[in-house]
Chains A and B, each alone.
Chain A
Amino acid sequence: MMAGILWLLLAVMGGLAVLPLFASGYIISFTIQIFMWIALAGSWNLISGFTGYVSFGHVAFFGVGAYTGALLVTQAGWHWLPASLAGCVPAAALALLIGYPCLRLKGPYFAIAMLGLNEVVRALVSYFESFTGGGSGISLPPILSIAPVYYAMGGAAVAVTLLTYRIITSRFGLRLLSIREDEIAAETMGINTSLMKLYAFLLSALFPGIVGGLYAWYSSYIEPLGVFPLLTTITMIIMCLFGGKGTVLGPVLGAVLLSVFQELVWARFLFVHQAIFGALIVAVVLLMPRGIMGVLQERYRLPRTV
């Protein structure tokens, strides 16, 4: 069974690798956005899916990465790829700053703090106008070919998924899961829960930073409202829950299925698509609370590490 899934994944990835050679710009652009959501939902999964600490402000790392990338390209004249990769540095620093005090608290405090964090970062970006352009945003040079962004974004999606697999098959992953199930019991077993949570949080902040930088390059224009919307965090959460939290392929499935669904439905039914989308999410949460992967794992006796 595992071998079958592995072959399937390799075939899909092979197909995606040659896609830009023949597909239209629209298909490539659409796939880039799916890759973006895979990376973002997968990152959210690392902290919230594994430890149960819900982050309502994950888009803050995305936005910080976007601004870092955009500023490095426009002000320092960097190439877009290293500029995007550099986005993970301030994102991780921010995660350390907020995670160190807040992850020691139990209960909903972390979720609330993250919600506030996003607003604070956005306000700061708007305020330091001379540096960030404030509400006018930053225009980047237009891109002439989106294929390089496609591969970079695809790379980020694959990297997040591999990292999740690496974690779920490690002792570190088991420790995180034990925190989710019962934090006090985990502590009693000698797990340094604060430290483990902080590690998971740092890892989950890295890729949104990088993806943010890639987004800035891809969209060629960023503004505070465009890169710090609460909606982006909510989309990450929904995709992850839909696919199955705490699994490797859950965020991937969630991102792909929901993106495709939205694209098909929304183009045809402008005003009812949100209602249909909402009905779908309610149906999934009621009928399969552990997400698609949860159902598949139960029915086909798949290992926990899929």
Chain B
Amino acid sequence: MRRAFVLALAGMSVSLLVLEWGAGPTWGQEPIKIGASISLTGTYAKPGKYTQEGYLLCEKEINDKGGLLGRKVRYIIYDDKSDPLTAIKLYEKLITEDNVEHVMGPYSSPVTNAASTVSEKYQKVMMASLAATTSIWERGFKYLFMTISPAEVYLEGLVELAAERGLKTIAVMNEDTLFAKAAAKGAIELAKKRGMQVVFHEAYPKGTTDFSALLIKIKSLNPDVITGGTYFDDAVATTRQMKELDVNPRMYGVTVGGDLPEFYQLLGKTAEYVYGSSQWEENLLYPGIKEFVAAYEKMWNHEPAYHSAAGYGACRLLAEAIKRANSLDSEKIR
């Protein structure tokens, strides 16, 4: 019995090994290697996956057009489990073992904050595609670049719109983490500047699933606007629970969450009339967007989110920088 168990376990491992190795792509000689760690599992798995897909689409497109500096580009992507400690280890691995030329950022501000110290140490360029908190950039790193707009302005559109419509009171809640906090802070400052009254501001710890106490407090204040500095899971939960508790503000908006296609798939009608904040939308009229969306849907069989676009864009930006510098040297790319 014991032997059979061990054998079964061993057999399972071996067959999996074969499967994974067999699937690896084959490439010509000496591609330009670009590394990244992305949260494919853990709390940031959903937006993390979109980012990864953006990176991979960009890799494919560059290679279809003949590569970069005459060489193919190859992405090496690992999973950091949404854990900064793992990300540090992985960026060490990417830079010292896999010998990547440059790195792309991981998903989320806390992970980027930890991981960027590694790329900085080795003087490798890091295109941080999805870290929006300004404090990361206040550390004075030389090789770190930001591609999306700072967290503080995520809710700017919502607050501006509310102020224009003459709405008076606003309640703000946020997850107590780097990015969400900065987004909420930005919203509050802008609201005050526009003469709105901030009637409520409270933070909840990451991983909270029951928001009823918070929402009932907000309901009793009856604000015109409710907004939240959120990630995906908490955005879904608050939206659903607002419906259950019949909290009905004139306007309601979140940061991350409302912008992902899954938000609507999970919530259905409840997701209507929720303002999301996005760094990018497919109906914006920038050149190349239609092509991007088409290529993305063809490759992954679902529509992109702004995280995909940010990942893709950051990757194209790095490629452009390398092309213009005509070199892989960090100093020249900067």
Contacts and interface: CB of A to CB of B under 8 A. Distances in A.
B92 interface: yes
A6 B232 CA distance: 53
A136 B174 CA distance: 12
Most chain A beta-carbon contacts within 10 A, residue among B141, B175, B176: B176
A219 B203 contact: no
B97 A33 contact: no
B191 interface: no
Contacts of A143: 117, 121
Interface stretch (B81-89, B192-200, B259-267): B81-89
Given A26-B97, A271-B41, A134 B181 contact: yes
A105 B79 CA distance: 43
Nearest to A219: B114
Nearest to A24: B96
A276 B13 contact: yes
Nearest to B43: A225
A142 B117 contact: yes
B78 A135 contact: no
Given A142-B120, A220-B117, A223-B110, A26 B89 contact: yes
B139 A139 contact: yes
A26 B96 contact: yes
A305 interface: no
B41 A24 contact: no
Contact of B88 (A134, A136, A219): A219
A303 interface: no
A269 B13 CA distance: 9
Interface in A126-162: 126, 134-137, 139, 142-144
A136 B121 CA distance: 23
Nearest to B175: A135
A129 to B, nearest CB: 9
A270 B121 contact: no
B266 to A, nearest CB: 21
B78 A219 contact: no
A26 B93 contact: yes
B16 A25 contact: no
A268 interface: yes
A219 B121 contact: no
Interface string B130-154: 0000011001010000000000000
A123 B78 CA distance: 32
A199 interface: no
Interface string B79-107: 10000110011001101110000000000
A12 interface: no
A267 B78 CA distance: 7
Interface residues of A, number: 41
A226 B84 contact: yes
A270 B178 contact: no
A10 interface: no
Nearest to A279: B9
Interface string B1-28: 0100110010011001100100000000
A135 B17 contact: no
Nearest to A122: B205
A238 B261 CA distance: 39
B94 to A, nearest CB: 8
A221 B110 contact: yes
Interface in A32-72: 33
A218 B178 CA distance: 19
A144 B110 contact: no
Most chain B beta-carbon contacts within 10 A, residue among A29, A215, A224, A287: A29
Contacts of A265: 13
Interface string B268-295: 0000000000000000000000000000
Most chain B beta-carbon contacts within 10 A, residue among A30, A220, A272, A280: A220
A221 B117 contact: yes
Nearest to A220: B117
Contacts of B20: 268-269
A137 B178 CA distance: 7
Given A142-B120, A269-B16, A136 B92 contact: no
List 3 A-B pairs, minimum CB-CB distance, nearest first.
A135-B176, A142-B117, A25-B96
Given A135-B203, A280-B9, 6 more contacts: A25-B118, A26-B93, A26-B97, A137-B113, A215-B85, A226-B110
Interface of A: 24-30, 33, 122-123, 126, 134-137, 139, 142-144, 215, 218-221, 223-226, 265-272, 276, 279-280, 283, 287
